[in-house]
A = this chain, B = another copy of it.
Amino acid sequence: MNTNNTRITLAHGEGARATRELITNRILTRFDNEHLRQLSDATQLDVASDRIAMTTDSFVVSPMIFPGGDIGSMAVYGTVNDLAVSGAVPRWLSLALIIEEGLELSILDKILDSIASAAERCGVVIVTGDTKVVPRGAADGIFINTTGIGELNSSVIAGPRSIRAGDLLIVSGPIGRHGIAVLSAREELALEPPPQSDSAPLHNSVACLRKNVGEAVKAIRDATRGGVSAVLHEWATECNLTMQLDETRIPITDDVRGASELLGLDPLYIANEGTMVIAVDPAAEAEALAALRSIPESHNAVVIGRVTARKVSPVTIQRMLGVEQPVDEPTGALLPRIC
């Protein structure tokens, strides 16, 4: 078998014929659009709004393919979600690949297929790209950067400084699923069935929520690195109030609970890739939950706590037996390459 034909070689990154063949045969075939087709240094975009949102994220997750997702769809959803939770309509993505020499082309194809279908699902167009190849050992498989642009047409989401005592805290679904899925796959825990990542786009959920409850939405954030705890600590700092969780209401699937106990991890700190935290005015509780539950990606949305006057701890949890305990700020759980 000629490995030159089945694996990425350094020539694929040289900017010459092999690069052009890679781009023409594997990228353009999947992402063909007027922007990419030009293969120009920069692409031109017509902006319908005078405000845009911009966000960037690099993805280095290992393994590249895991139960419930892969690095490709994650790279699309992650950036789409960052745009969505900031109130923008996701429109355009750039796609930059850093590939390790020796990556099997069949794996690259699978990842590119996944990127293409994720972009279609989100209604975003990949308008510009870059491909670099580094020698074996200088990277690990593939790293993907997506940078996204969204249009800001409607009013801006007020943000965590607008949070008031009495506001409710909602999560859009069960927490900790992404981190547990990746760790289980990487550590070969052989759980059956294997825990699935929550990797998913949240733009429809955010749009429906905002359409139905408008200004009652105070803040939205996808709970990625550092999990729900990291989001709540940031918000508590911004608004100088306390985020009080109710342990009995936090949705955790059985497999995440079991694997977390096995690994000695607290799901509150584990990364999600398709789950967000929302702060809403309590008057809008029913409408907010109904709006979220009408969208598949957030149909398990529930209230998990409320905001109170500032206590000693910025984030607390009401345990099942009634005791209120502080939730510490995540300090770095040494779970590398989760996203």
Contacts and interface: CB of A to CB of B under 8 A. Distances in A.
Contacts of A183: none
A69 to B, nearest CB: 17
Contacts of A47: 47, 49-52
Given A51-B45, A94-B147, A133-B336, A14 B330 contact: yes
Interface stretch (A54-62, A104-112, A249-257): A54-62
Contacts of A57: 96, 130
A92 B44 contact: no
Interface in A3-38: 10-19
Interface string A124-147: 000111101111011110010101
**Chain copies in complex:** 2
A182 B63 CA distance: 32
A243 interface: no
A151 to B, nearest CB: 10
Which of A14, A51, A139 is the most central at the interface, judged by chain B CB atoms within 10 Å of its CB?
Answer: A14
Contacts of A96: 56-58, 145, 147
Given A45-B51, A58-B130, A337-B135, A16 B83 contact: no
A331 interface: yes
Contact of A16 (B51, B101, B226): B226
A88 interface: yes
B58 A52 contact: no
A264 interface: no
A128 B54 contact: yes
Given A86-B41, A134-B60, A17 B331 contact: yes
Interface of A: 10-19, 40-60, 62, 81-83, 85-86, 88, 92, 94-98, 101, 127-130, 132-135, 137-140, 143, 145, 147-150, 152, 156, 159, 221-222, 224-226, 230, 271, 329-337, 339
7 contacts: A16-B230, A16-B331, A41-B83, A41-B86, A43-B53, A45-B53, A98-B143
Given A43-B55, A47-B52, 18 more contacts: A14-B225, A14-B334, A16-B226, A16-B329, A16-B331, A17-B330, A17-B331, A18-B332, A19-B332, A45-B52, A55-B94, A98-B143, A137-B137, A137-B140, A138-B140, A138-B337, A145-B145, A149-B149
